[in-house]
Structure 1
Amino acid sequence: MKKLINTLSFRLFITLSLVLILIMGGFIYLTLDSQEKHMMNCILISTNRISDFIKGSTRYGMLLNRREDTHQIINRLGQEKGIEVIRVYNKKGEIMFSSIEDEIGKTVDMTAEACYICHSESKPIESIPEKNRVRIVSRADGHRSLGLINPIRNEYDCSNADCHAHPSDIKVLGVLDIKISLDHLDRNIKEAENQIILFSIILIVLINLVTGVFIHKFVHKPVHMLIDGTNAIASGNLNYKITLDSRTEIGELAKMFNTMTEKLNKAYNEIKEWSINLENKVNEKTDELKRAQAHLFQIEKMASLGQLAATVAHELNNPLEGILTLTKLQIKRLNKNSLTKEEVESILKDLSFIAEETMRSGNIVKNLLLFSRQQPTEFQDADIEQIIEKCIILIQHHLKLNNINLVKNYQIRNKNIMCNAQQLQQAFLALMINSVEAMQNGGELKISILETNPDEIEIQFSDTGQGIPDEIKDKIYEPFFSTKANGKGIGLGLSVVYGIVNNHKGKITLDSKVGQGTTFKITLSRKLNKRIVKEEYDG
């Protein structure tokens, strides 16, 4: 119901109905008032004629002073339907004649309704205006009567009559008072009122029906079609069309609505096509960025591998020379026809040394191969200590050559972490190489693994090198930025480290003072979801 009340068509219908009711109410009031006045005027004219007729009928009898004739005439006319009473008053208020015989001879008070009009002042009025001669008398039961006073003037015949001549200076001898019942008039007015009201109600109902049908067809239905269309557009149906055959403003609005939806649909399709193209472009660029990032990782890996190559070659040269010397010696010994027990033990000892040195060399080569290998990797559980230990193996000879003391501070109970082990090894190795290169005259490299809370671990790489100036701290993670001498590096190390840490949803911080050393802190979370990270490389 509330929804219906708030509709435009309902409010328009109610407004028009109220206006129609007000107009018809005013019309009924004016019509009934005019009709009542017209009927009253007709009654008044008729009453005047009756009064004049009575005066004319009794004039002759009064001139001859034939009171019985006058009485009979008044009594007979008083019995006519609609006439309540006919009275003749003299100027003293005495009832000379009346259609009610009991009233004859009685004197009424001068303030009575028939006398007050003339005797309201000290001297009786000789001329009464037409409107003052008429009075409407209403009883408690609703009965109404019309009273009319008709003055009986002292005409020439009256003042010269032989029988009862009146002085000529008296202008009015008395009045003829007649009262007419208005029951018939009231019934006619009531019937007319009922008929007009009934006709008006029927007319209002018919007009409202026509108005309601008109509003429903030309307002309610088109507006709801527009609302349905708007709701359809809001829900995403841009193919919705309003089928409204109308030449009104609402019809024009429907046409413009259809035009708007066509343009919206066209624009939406264009945007959708652009979005698909943009998504494809974004995917292409994302793939390119991934390949570029992987390529940068590989470049830095190769750079680190190149830096390690000379050291590893020197590291391999010593055991290989020892292996070669011992092998030649054992060949000479084995060429002898017989070997003593001491010689056999010496040979076995040398062969054991050869096996150890060969295994050490193999481990160095194996770690280099693992470090340089290019393969898809995944995030999985790994031992953080093992990752760091593999890095230490690769730079151990570097530390010896540069007279650097390695300090390990592993304060962790749970060593497992969800990570990409190969990427973390690359990042840790880059930081270790940077620390070694910062301590050309020897120093101390401290590697710490701390458990800051059950969900995170922190790896620290601290050196006692030359430190990093404050003015370049904000630039060290930028690609191709390097403080090393020409040929010493390509400036991708810390940039790659930052990218690897970021891929692990971790953070890296720097604490460095010139002349005192540098500490890199890497914080990693244990709660990474296990996910496959496919890496594609160029070339």
Structure 2
Amino acid sequence: MAIFAYINIETLEEIFLQEAVSDAENLSEAIIKTTHHQMLDDDRLRAYQMIQEVGTQNGIESIRLINKDGRIIYSTRDDEIGTFVDKKAAACNMCHSGATPLTHASTMNRSRFFTNAQGKQVLGLAKAIYNEESCYTAKCHFHPENFRVLGVLDVVVSLDKVMAITSSYRYKFTSLTVFLLLLIWLSITLCTQALVSRPVKQLLKHTNLLARGELNSKVLTSSSDELGELASSFNTMTISLKKARDELEDWGRNLEVKVEERTHQLKQIQDQLIRSEKLASLGELVAGIAHEINNPLTGILVFSSLVGDDPRLNPELKDDLEKIRRETQRCAKIVRGLLDFARESVPHKIPTQINDLIDASLDLVTHQSSFHDITVVREYQHTLPQVLVDPNQIEQVLVNMLLNASHAMASGGKLTVATGLTCGDNRLFVSISDTGCGIPEENLGKIFDPFFTTKENLGTGLGLAVSYGIVESHGGNIEVQSTVGVGTVFTIRLPLPSDGESVEHSTGRSDADMPSSAVL
């Protein structure tokens, strides 16, 4: 705006000066036209009087007539009449700068601006008086025809009015420019304060609060521009930080519980790994032991039977011989359990409806005397998909666990069998829960170990170990939860077949493939 104001003032001043030069040009032309006839009549006195009258007008400093020799033949200032002008002066230099004087020059080149003796700014304009045809044909002609310029009319006018108008305009335009600059500065300051400074201060204050950990503050958003979006982002960040801090505090409060949970999970995984390694090593060991003691047991059982049927046997010895045969059969049962535990038979998997398999298992065991005072509750999910399992092996697992549950409820109780799908993974579960005596916590990690049993003279301690191996060979797992005096829950989890999975028939050994000595 300052540059615009400067250019505008300079242009206006130039225009005013051009107008002043034009007015001086018109004044000179009017004087020449007015005195033309007096000059033709050689009435110089009348012509000088007319020039004198024009020179008395306001704003005209002086009017001079200069002949071609440079002598002032008339002037409104008497002291100049008869004197000569300097042709090298500013007023004459334009036409007389060369060897031959110019006969024509532009208006601006014939004008000059200077300060007179009184210190006033004035404009001088020199206008040539040409030797026209009416001049050299007049009766009183003084100059021959070949003279082109008869003289010069030099007019000097005051520039006080032009300078006053220019100064007034300069003052007004400068004042307006300053006022506009102040107005724009004030507007920008207020807008910046309202739209930038105040929101930035709020953001800075909010940042300081965040640095002190105060996450409940919120930046007020009053606009939808970039600063408004930034304030919204700050609020979103504050919410996220508060949520993260709350989560960290919650983690800190519950860290001990979570550590205990993770420790318990790791202990369970470790127990499973130890159990798997133990079962694998024991399987190899018992396979050899069972094979070695099976033949002697067969001989003892055969010959004890023969001796028992011999009439020569003393009747008093028959009870002792019957006890030998009974204990031998018990040893044979243990051997069969060892063989079942050691034998790694590949499951013959076929699509099976697990609910039907559970019903078949219950039909096998519910007629036994241990189930007389037990109520069986079936909680099936009837929309279960089929699973790929070996029905005989899974039935063996189910029968074993059902019998164990009945033995835990010697005085009666409730046996609940539930089925369903687990959340989060592609698995099916079978839950067998009883209201029996429960398992002590120190025994929970041992129940799947071979030969571990709490039943005196009722089991070999191989049932759960064999069941664990069968379920593991199907890609599943067995979990147990128990409370002493409340009951026990065994949960079998089996994987569901993936899309496109086909039924694989194993070629593992069966009982028919075993040596006769191994099947007692």
TM-score by length of 1: 0.47
Q: Structure 2 length as normaliser, TM-score?
A: 0.48
